[in-house]
């Protein structure tokens, strides 16, 4: 038994040492550590802004953290807002079982994979919110590592790979990657799908895409995008790999069957969006962008429309650049991923849709190659990240949507 324990310990140490030597792993450490430090420092300090020390010296009675329990409670209160409430409620109580209706908002709009994973982990930790945060950060770090590898796999050089993961980590709303929401898991699964497909590992690509379609409806766009990639990369043996493409929509189809069993509506995830204030009809995807140009003063406490507009435009431009560079599968994935939410005829929450479209970061990193332009982008992103995180921590509505 002792010998077996030593052998397992040696194997674990060897794996850890190998990971630390991995180029992509090491490249992801700094962007992850820097941006997460900024986020959590702001979240920790915001409650004390403007606080008056209770004694004359202003020091003796002031404690940055009165107790570990208090710090944990504040962190939990900060992150369990907006959609995070819905996901954690599903993890704890499951989906509502009722005939479909739109009289009130229902949790049928939220896809199941993330809350299922949180629930399984929480069975061990006995805590939902912080478990969700830890999982989200683990998924996010893994996504940075795989994105670095994917960038190299698509023929970009190391400097582009390094910049792309930094730009992603410092994106103005990247705090969503660290809270109990689906962004980090969805990003990880989509990057894995492309990475596996580019390496001709189609079963892994199909499995990752299938899981992505159980995480967000947008995961379904991986099917046409990777199918185009199959043609683009001139893969052979289609009959052998055809099963992989059938795996890609399985997550979505399974969720639809489940929703029908509890609500009577296969498309409850879509139809219930009306109760959340979204338009019921679909339309031309450019219409919301044009309407913003015509009426740029449009305002909502729950949506920062100028940022949504800029992100939507950025994604569309990135898709055109990828077409020009003949990166067809990445171009199609980028275009469909932004056109789909825009076809709902609203800019609402568009930044959260764009932030997980990883080819956008490849385009940015490839364009801003000079040290001066790269530094400028980094300063802008980090500054905006700090501002948006402060707004999130103080519960400004537009930073939560």
Provide φ and ψ at 303, rounded to 5°.
-145, 130
Residue with tokens 């980028």: 334
Q: Confirm if 232 and 328 have CB atoms less than 8 A apart.
A: yes
Instruction: State how far the Cα of 381 lies from the Cα of 170, in Å rounded to an integer.
Output: 6
pLDDT at 82: 85
Task: Please tell me the predicted confidence (pLDDT) of residue 52.
Answer: 42
Contact between 219 and 186 (Cβ < 8 Å): yes
The number of domains in the chain is 1
Q: CA torsion angle for 57, 58, 61, 66 (degrees, to 10)?
A: -160
Domain that holds residue 76: 23-50+62-97+107-268+279-399
Residuewise pLDDT in 10s, the chain (401 residues): 445 455 555 555 555 555 556 899 999 999 999 999 999 899 888 766 644 444 444 444 445 445 555 667 777 777 888 899 999 999 999 999 999 999 999 999 999 999 999 999 999 999 999 999 999 999 999 999 999 999 999 999 999 999 999 999 999 999 999 999 999 999 999 999 999 999 999 999 999 999 999 999 999 999 999 999 998 887 766 677 888 999 999 999 999 999 999 999 999 999 999 998 888 788 999 999 999 999 888 777 778 899 999 999 999 999 999 999 999 999 999 999 999 999 998 999 999 999 999 999 999 999 999 999 999 999 999 999 999 999 998 888 888 88
Distance CA(202)–CA(359), nearest Å, equals 20
Task: Give the pLDDT score at 230.
Answer: 92
3-state DSSP helix/strand/coil percent for the chain, to nearest 5?
70, 0, 30
CB-based contact 173:125 (threshold 8 Å):
no
Supply the pLDDT for residue 73.
73
The total number of residues shown for the chain amounts to 401
What is the CB neighbour count within 10 angstroms for residue 391? 19
* DSSP string computed for 90-129: HHHH----S----SS--GGGS-SHHHHHHHHHHHHHS-SH
Contact (Cβ atoms closer than 8 angstroms) between residue 346 and residue 288: yes
pLDDT of residue 45: 81
Asked if the structure places residue 16 within a domain, the reply is: no
Rounded CA-CA distance 60/56 in Å is 9
The pLDDT assigned to 140 comes to: 98
Model pTM score: 0.90
* Predicted local confidence at residue 4, as pLDDT: 47
Per-residue model confidence (pLDDT) at position 81: 85
What b/e sequence results for 278-300 when a residue is b if at least 16 CB atoms lie within 10 Å of its CB, and e otherwise?
beeeeeebeebbebbeeeeeeee
Q: Which two tokens stand for residue 281?
A: 């009809």
Output the 3-class SS for 155-205. Answer: CCCHHHHHHHHHHHHCCCCHHHHHCCCCHHHHHHHHHHHHHHHHCCCHHHH
> What is the CB-side half-sphere exposure of residue 356 using CA atoms within 13 A?
31
8 occurs within a structural domain? no
**7 lies in some domain:** no
C-beta of residue 212 within 8 angstroms of C-beta of residue 186: yes
Question: Is 35 part of any domain?
Answer: yes
**Hey, what are 243's tokens?**
């099963």
Give domain status of residue 2, yes or no.
no
And the tokens for 331?
């171009």
Does residue 246 belong to any structural domain of this protein? Answer: yes
DSSP annotation of 51 reads P
């Amino acid at each position: 038994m002792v010998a077996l324990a030593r052998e397992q310990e040696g194997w674990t140490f060897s794996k850890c040492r190998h990971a630390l030597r991995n180029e992509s792993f090491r490249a992801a450490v700094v962007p992850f550590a820097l941006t997460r430090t900024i986020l959590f420092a702001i979240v920790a300090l915001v409650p004390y802004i403007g606080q008056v020390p209770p004694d004359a010296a202003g020091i003796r009675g002031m404690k940055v953290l009165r107790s570990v329990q208090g710090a944990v409670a504040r962190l939990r209160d900060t992150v369990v807002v907006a959609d995070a409430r819905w996901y954690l409620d599903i993890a704890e109580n499951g989906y509502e079982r009722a005939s479909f209706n739109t009289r009130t908002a229902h949790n049928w709009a939220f896809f199941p994979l993330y809350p299922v994973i949180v629930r399984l982990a929480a069975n061990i930790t006995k805590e939902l919110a912080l478990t969700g945060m830890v999982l989200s950060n683990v998924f996010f770090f893994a996504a940075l590592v795989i994105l670095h590898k994917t960038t190299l796999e698509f023929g970009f050089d190391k400097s582009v790979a390094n910049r792309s993961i930094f730009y992603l980590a410092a994106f103005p709303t990247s705090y969503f990657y660290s809270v109990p929401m689906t962004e980090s898991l969805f990003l990880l699964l989509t990057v894995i799908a492309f990475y596996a497909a580019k390496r001709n590992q189609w079963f892994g690509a199909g499995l990752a895409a299938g899981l992505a379609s159980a995480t967000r409806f947008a995961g379904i766009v991986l099917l046409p995008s990777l199918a185009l990639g199959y043609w683009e990369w001139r893969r052979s043996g289609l009959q052998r790999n055809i099963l992989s493409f059938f795996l890609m929509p399985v997550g979505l189809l399974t969720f639809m069957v489940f929703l029908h069993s509890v609500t009577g509506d296969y498309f409850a995830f879509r139809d219930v969006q009306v109760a959340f204030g979204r338009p019921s009809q679909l339309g031309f995807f450019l219409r919301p962008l044009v309407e913003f140009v015509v009426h740029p003063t449009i305002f909502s406490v729950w949506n920062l429309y100028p940022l949504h507009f800029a992100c939507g435009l950025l994604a569309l431009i990135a898709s055109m650049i990828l077409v020009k560079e003949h990166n067809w599968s990445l171009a199609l994935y980028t275009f469909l991923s932004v056109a789909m939410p825009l076809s709902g005829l609203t800019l609402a929450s568009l930044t959260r849709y764009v932030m997980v479209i990883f080819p956008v970061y490849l385009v940015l990193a490839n364009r801003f190659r000079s040290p001066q332009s790269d530094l400028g982008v980094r300063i802008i992103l980090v500054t905006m990240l700090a501002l948006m995180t402060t707004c999130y921590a103080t519960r400004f509505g537009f930073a939560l949507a």
